[in-house]
Structure 1
Amino acid sequence: MLIYKVLRAEEWADLASTGQIAGAPVDLADGFIHFSTADQVAETLAKHFAGAADLVICACHTDDLGADLKWEPSRGGALFPHLYRALRLKEVRWQEGLVMAGGQHVLPDRVE
C-alpha cells in the first residue's frame, strides 16, 4: 500500500541531498513522521498546508518502512500512518511537486 508524505521544497531538498530526513517541524515536535493514505492526503493538505506553495508529495510503500510504521488514531479516530524513525530517500517510490488550481492543491493522478 502506498502512503504519502507532504514536504516543503526545502525539506525535500534536504532529504534528496542527505539521503534521510527526521521530518518537518511538526514531525520533530510529535516524535514521528506524519503520513497520510490516499483517502486522507487531500484533507491533510487543506488542513495543514492551505495556500502553501512549493510542496512536494512523496509516495512510500508501507512494506518498505517496516516495523517502525505504526497506524494510530488521529482526526476523528481515523488511523493514520506514523513513522517512528527517519525517512530514507531510498524508501521514496516517487515524488512530484504539487500545483495549485483555484486555490487548492491538485493531487497527481498516480495518488492511488
Structure 2
Amino acid sequence: MLIFKIFRAEEWATLRADGHTAGAPVDVADGFVHFSTAEQAAETAAKHFAGEHDLFLIAVDADSLGDELKWEVSRGGALFPHLYREFRLSDVTWAQPLPLVDGTHQFPAGTTS
C-alpha cells in the first residue's frame, strides 16, 4: 500500500541533497513525519497546503517502513500513518509535482480515491 507525503519544493530538495530529513516544520514540532493514505491526500492538500504552489507528492510503500510506522487517530477520527524516525530518500517509491490549477491541487492519476 502506498502512502503519501506532501513536501514544499525546498523540503523535497533538502531530502534529495541530504538523503534524510526530520520532515517539514510541523513534523519536527510533532515528533513524527505525517503521511496520508490515497483517500486522505486531497483533503490534506486542501487543509494544510491551500493555495500553495511548488509542491511535490512523495509516495512511499507503507510496508517498507516496518514497525516505525504507526497508524494513529487524527482528523475526524481517521487513522493516519505517522513515521517515528527520519524520513530517508531510500524510502521514496516515486515523487511527482503536485500542481495547483484554479485553486485545486492536481493529483497524478490513481493516487487519490
Instruction: Tell me how far apart the structure 2 counterparts of residues 53 and 101 of structure 1 sit (CA, whole Å).
Output: 9
Secondary structure at the residue paired with 2:3? Answer: strand
CA RMSD of aligned residues (A): 0.8
Q: Is the alpha carbon distance of 1:110 and 1:20 closer, same or farther for their aligned partners in structure 2, counting shifts above 3 Å? A: farther
Instruction: Tell me how far apart the structure 1 counterparts of residues 63 and 74 of structure 2 sit (CA, whole Å).
Output: 22
Instruction: Tell me how far apart the structure 2 counterparts of residues 110 and 14 of structure 1 sit (CA, whole Å).
Output: 27
1:81 aligns with 2:77: no
Q: In percent, how many aligned pairs have the same letter?
A: 60
Instruction: Tell me how far apart the structure 1 counterparts of residues 75 and 4 of structure 2 sit (CA, whole Å).
Output: 16
- Which runs of structure 2 are paired with 1:1-112 in the superposition (5 Å)? 1-111=1-111
Alignment TM-score, normalising by the size of structure 1: 0.97
**Unaligned regions of 5+ residues in structure 2, if any?**
none
User: How many residues are paired up?
Assistant: 112
**Unaligned regions of 5+ residues in structure 1, if any?**
none
Instruction: Tell me how far apart the structure 1 counterparts of residues 48 and 70 of structure 2 sit (CA, whole Å).
Output: 21
Residues 51-108 of structure 1, C-alpha deviations (whole Å, 9 max, x = no match): 0011001000011111100000001100000000111101100000111111110001
- Deviation of the 1:110 alpha carbon: 4.0
Alignment TM-score, normalising by the size of structure 2: 0.96
